[in-house]
Structure 1
Amino acid sequence: MYNLTEEIINQKCELNNLKTDEWLEKMENMEKEGIDFVNISKIDIHMKKKMGAIIGGAVMIVFMIFLIGMFLWGNSVDPIPLGLLIVLVAIPVVIIVCIIGVLIGRIREIDGGEEDEAAKY
């Protein structure tokens, strides 16, 4: 790819007289030889989707940890029955486990391009 851009620059082609068909043919030949041309915008979109999912999941996990801390602090100030405390702490723990599972699935979905395929229809 670097050689192709150097060749275009060395020929000092201007935009109005650039022979795009020839350059596209050279690119296609390079692809047949094994060079991959990466769509950078697609990678950026996938990274943004991943970061959105990770940030959303992290915010909810932090909230659930805060909730567990509040339950434990409240129990230290005014003790409640142990069974009730276990239930109150178990609910956010189950939610955290589910968030992590969904987050892993979402990242796999983004990596697999399932969303891109569904957008075509």
Structure 2
Amino acid sequence: MSKTWRISLLVFIMLLFVCGAMLPGELRASISKALSLGGVDAYAHVFFCSLIALLLGWVGVSPLVAFVLVMVLGGLIELVQLWIPHRSTTWNDMLDNVIGAFLGLFILWLGRQLLKRECNG
């Protein structure tokens, strides 16, 4: 996959994460109920932050910078949620972001190790 496609995928995933996080609480609850998602919030943070960190690393961003970028994005989302009706800011969301970022970077590292092993024999 070309670098342009990887960056496009990264931007798309980031937009999904941000748009989902910016939904007012009542609309978000209605969508969750209609799709039978239940309490998917923590899983969404881990999933999207993992994917964003992995994709950042995949396009060539260093692991430390990828981690910091994911934390900044998550922190900004939490701050903006203070002004969104029926939404709240929680430390648990930030913890889920940390877990997700580490998981994504670990998966990236693991994938690279497996590729090295295959190339070396």
- Using the size of structure 2 for normalisation, the TM-score is 0.34
**Larger radius of gyration, structure 1 or 2?**
1
- Using the size of structure 1 for normalisation, the TM-score is 0.34
Structure with more contact order per residue of length (Cα contacts < 8 Å, sep ≥ 6): 2
